Amino acid sequence: MVGRFGEGATALTSVHREHHVLIERPEETFDWVDFACPCPSCGARVDGFRTKDLCNQRDRVDFRIANHFYAECRCGAWIDFIRKPAVDITDFDMRVETD
């Protein structure tokens, strides 16, 4: 038998009601992505993007360091940004060392 005890906790009770265990569920871990854009579906401003690519401490991070970030618009559209693999030499910095 399972019962709810506040946000994020679940109480499990044995079928014989002899034992009760309170289990705390960890909050979802992610970082906030500093990015906003118009929704491609309805045009509304979408912010509140998240990523799980980094330290997942609910820090605010620049979108340029995340490989994948996402948000949901109030219209229900799910928006994902996924970094494309580098396919062009201009995606690289060149360094030259000489003696």
Extents of the domains making up the chain = 28-89
Give the global pTM: 0.59
pLDDT in tens, 8-67: 445 455 555 555 555 554 567 899 999 999 999 999 999 999 999 888 888 899 999 899
Sheet holding 49-51, edge to edge: 60-62, 31-34, 49-51, 68-72, 78-82
**Burial group, residue 91, by CB count within 10 angstroms (0-12, 13-18, 19+):** exposed
Q: Which residues make Cβ contacts (< 8 Å) with residue 60, sequence separation at least 6?
A: 31, 32, 33, 34
